[in-house]
Amino acid sequence: MTGEADSVANTADTLTIPGLKRPVARIALGTWAIGGWMWGGPDDRQAIATIHEALDVGIDLIDTAPVYGFGHSEEVVGEALSGGRRDRVAIATKVGLDWHDDHKPFRNTSAARINKEIEDSLRRLRTDHIDLYQVHWPDTAVPMEETARALEKLVTQGKVLALGVSNFSIPQIEEFRKFAPLSAIQPPYNLFEREIERDILPYAIRNRLAVLAYGPLCRGLLSGRMTPETKFGSDDLRGSDPKFQPPRFAQYLAAVDALRDFARERYGKSLLALAIRWVLDQGPTIALWGARKPEQIAGVRDALGWSLTEQDRKDIDAILARTVRDPVGPEFMAPPGR
């Protein structure tokens, strides 16, 4: 594909997130790895080039968070968008994770923490407003009313355009919505981690909430680049993810091999394109494409301009049932409360 066909915004469906100034493309850039923490350290030069490449292919939503590198990811995003690029994208960041001096995060959604974090994020991102501000994890130590009303105040002040929540249950979402409007939810969602299909995804469809699906490549597993010999460093979250440890790792790699063959034989596509297309075909979803090198953006275009059939989805489910006999979810990522 060449010319306009190379643009995400021109080839992929767009999605309207209530409160944002314009619809956004359904593939967004996720920046957890860019922050470096739990991903083997940062590389700012590569990160900025990655963000610029994402903009060049038409990605117009960037998702970040203060805890991604303890402010570093937001700083890199801010630097990359300086010089006139800020108006080209919507920025989604998060609030409600605090950390000690030893960089161990914990949940804190108090009004005081929110009021501090918004100013820190605005400064690091070099902007006067956040397009989508999301509660990173629910905090049972703080009344939901306090959290939601503090966030709604930021909307009335013009510092935030729209609100979202991440990793919330249905009861927690309902409680939040008693006190503030909600535009989006952000859960983990990919071919291997599908818990939201039981309740979160149907709820989002019924209530017209955008779903920002994080981890659509399951922390690189669905990139197709891993082998049984792949090792992870001490500062890599995959070292503590049960999917990447025996005996499960072999099961997931068997699924990856079968899915790679399926994508190639049925569509002439890569496994990576299949994994993203599958997420996009499930509902009002935006796939958060995590990347930290410019070349990792190239595959975005391959996920666009086609769709899976109902039979495809059934065949994919059969592959997973045959290969992944001992599945596990993303629970290991949950930070502790206070």
Q: Which residues are catalytic?
A: 68
- DSSP character string of 186-198: E-B-SSS--GGGT
Residues facing residue 99 across a β-bridge: 105
Asked if 182 and 132 count as a contact pair (C-beta separation under 8 A), the reply is: no
Pick from 79, 49, 74: nearest CA to 63? 74
The pairing of strands 90-95 and 61-63 is parallel
Q: Which two tokens stand for residue 74?
A: 């937001």
CA atoms within 13 A of residue 302's CA, in its CB half-sphere? 17
**Who's near 237: CB < 8 A, 6+ residues apart?**
38, 39, 219, 333
Tokens of 319: 């592959």
Give CA–CA dist 166/288, Å, rounded. Answer: 13
Question: How many C-beta atoms lie closer than 10 Å to residue 235's C-beta?
Answer: 12
Q: Give residue 122's identity as a one-letter amino acid code.
A: L
**Position 30: which residue type?**
G
Q: Which residues pair with 285 in a beta bridge?
A: 211
